Amino acid sequence: MLFDDHNLVWGLSEKDDGSMKLQDDDNQTLMNRQKFFAKHNISHVATVTAGLAHGRTVAVVSRQDAGQIIKQTDGLITDVPGLTLTVTVADCLPIYFFDPQKQVIGLAHAGWRGLSQNIIRAVLDGLQKNFNCQVANLLAYIGPHIKKCHFEIKADRGRYFQAYPECLIKKDRRIFLDLTGLAEAQLKTAGLLKNNIASSNVCTFEAVNKYFSWRRDPAAKIQAMIAYIGLPPKSHLS
C-alpha cells in the first residue's frame, strides 16, 4: 500500500464499527467513534472532523482545533504530529494526501460535486501555499467508494465533466460517471506522478457487508464510514 511504509496512522472504518456520521445530538454515533478510535489507539479528543458541504473548501488545522468539527469544509490539512484528520463517507471518495519530505498530511471528502469544483486542486493549493509542498513529492490514495458500475448520473450533470469525456460512460441511454478515473485524472493534471497515486478497487455499493452506501440504502439519517489520517505523535496533545 502506498502509505504503509511511512508510519502513518490512517484507514477507514467498516460497517461493523457502526455509523460515524454525527447528526444532531447523536450519542450512539459519538460512542461508535470513541470505541473505534480507542481500538486504533487514537485519542478521540485529538481528532479534527470536516463538517462537509460538498464543495471545495479546505482548512489548515492546528493543535487548537483538536476535538472540533470544522463546519462547511470538505478538506483538512496539517503538519501537527498526533492530530488525526477525519471525514465521513458513504459512497463519496476519501482521498488521502501525504508529503513525506515535509511531513504534511491532507484528507478530502470528494463526491461528484466536489470533483466538479476540483477540490483536489484546492487541497494541493493549500499544501503548496501553507507548507511549501512540491506536488511531485506528494502521495495520494483514493479509498473505497462507489464505482462507475453503479454511479449513474442525470444527463445534465455530464456538462460538469466535459473535460473528462473518458469518465462519462453511456450505456442503454443511461450515463455513468467514473469517479475513480476522474480523481486520478485531476491528480495527474495537477502534477502528481503516476506512481504516487493509488486507488482502492472496492465498490462501496457492492460491498454490502463491509461498507455503508447511500446509493444502495438511501435513508433520511445517513449512515457513513469515517476516513482518518494522522502523523505519528511526538508528544501528547495538551
What is the phi/psi pair of residue 176, to 5°?
-120, 145
What is the rounded distance in angstroms from the CA atom of residue 144 to the CA atom of residue 112? Answer: 15
Mean residue pLDDT across the chain:
94
Structural domains of the chain ordered from first start: 9-146+180-230 (3.60.140.10)
Across the range 64-75, mean pLDDT stands at 95
8 Å CB contact between 119 and 59: no
pLDDT (0 to 100) of residue 24:
67
As given in the structure block, the three cell numbers for residue 2 are: 502506498
The length of the chain is 238
**HEC assignment per residue over 70-127:** ECCCCEEEECCCCCEEEEEECCCEEEEEEECCCCEEEEEEECHHHHHCCHHHHHHHHH
Q: How confident is the model at residue 234 (pLDDT cuts 50, 70, 90)?
A: confident
**Cell numbers for 4:** 504503509
- What number is the average pLDDT over the span 151-167? 93
159: how many CB neighbours lie within 10 A of its CB? 8
